[in-house]
């Protein structure tokens, strides 16, 4: 049986990206994003926020560090990874993080997301924008028979 480890998140950065380099010189940037949700608690719906640590590698890491800032909306596609380490007090620590394959900058350069300036498209989706004989252009909504 094939296993799939894939996650897609759209949220806002909760702090500025942090760029570091490995001893071999590879760029690595860490992001923290907040994803909003609505949850039902009892009879009431309430707003909830979930926070995710994201690791970005290579050229994408450099771009994130250069162009992103706290509050900026982003789309992230990647996989979940599990980390374990020993804390300074000797205790074992664990965390689940997202290792990004694709980071899409959303909104305008001013950090606002209200202008609809970007659309998140997962990596590999929509590779060809040209319709072909095998796959014609999508029908308009009013052409759908249901």
**CATH code, domain carrying 88:** 2.40.50.140
Report yes or no on 29 lying in a domain. Answer: yes
Q: In sequence order, which residues have a C-beta less than 8 Å from that of residue 124 and are 6 or more positions away?
A: none
Q: Which domain holds residue 104?
A: 7-119
Report yes or no on 72 lying in a domain. Answer: yes
Report yes or no on 125 lying in a domain. Answer: no
The pLDDT tens digits for 112-138 are 544 444 444 555 544 444 444 444 444
Per the structure block, which two tokens stand in for 123? Answer: 């990596």
Nearest to 28 by CA among 91, 106, 90, 81: 81
Q: How confident is the model at residue 2 (pLDDT cuts 50, 70, 90)?
A: confident
Residue at token pair 């950065």? 13
Report yes or no on 78 lying in a domain. Answer: yes
User: What's the pLDDT at 130?
Assistant: 44
Report yes or no on 45 lying in a domain. Answer: yes
Half-sphere exposure of residue 45, counting CA atoms within 13 Å on the CB side? 3
The model's pTM is 0.69
Specify the number of domains making up the chain. Answer: 1
Strand partners, 103: 76
Report yes or no on 130 lying in a domain. Answer: no
The pLDDT tens digits for 81-114 are 998 989 999 999 999 999 999 999 998 765 554 4
Residue at token pair 């992230």? 76
Interatomic CA distance for residues 33 and 9, integer angstroms: 9
């Amino acid at each position: 049986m094939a296993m799939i480890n894939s996650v897609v998140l759209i949220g806002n950065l909760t702090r500025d990206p942090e760029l570091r380099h490995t001893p071999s010189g590879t760029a690595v940037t860490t992001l923290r994003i907040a994803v909003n949700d609505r949850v039902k608690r009892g009879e009431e719906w309430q707003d909830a926020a979930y926070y995710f640590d994201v690791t970005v590698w290579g050229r994408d890491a450099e771009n994130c560090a250069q162009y992103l800032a706290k509050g900026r909306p982003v789309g992230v596609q990647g996989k979940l990874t599990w980390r374990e380490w020993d804390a300074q007090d000797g205790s074992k620590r664990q965390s689940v993080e997202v290792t990004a394959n694709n980071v899409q900058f959303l909104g305008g350069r001013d950090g606002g997301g209200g202008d609809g300036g970007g659309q998140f498209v997962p990596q590999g989706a929509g590779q060809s924008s040209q319709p072909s004989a095998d796959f014609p252009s999508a029908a308009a909504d009013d052409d759908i028979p249901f």
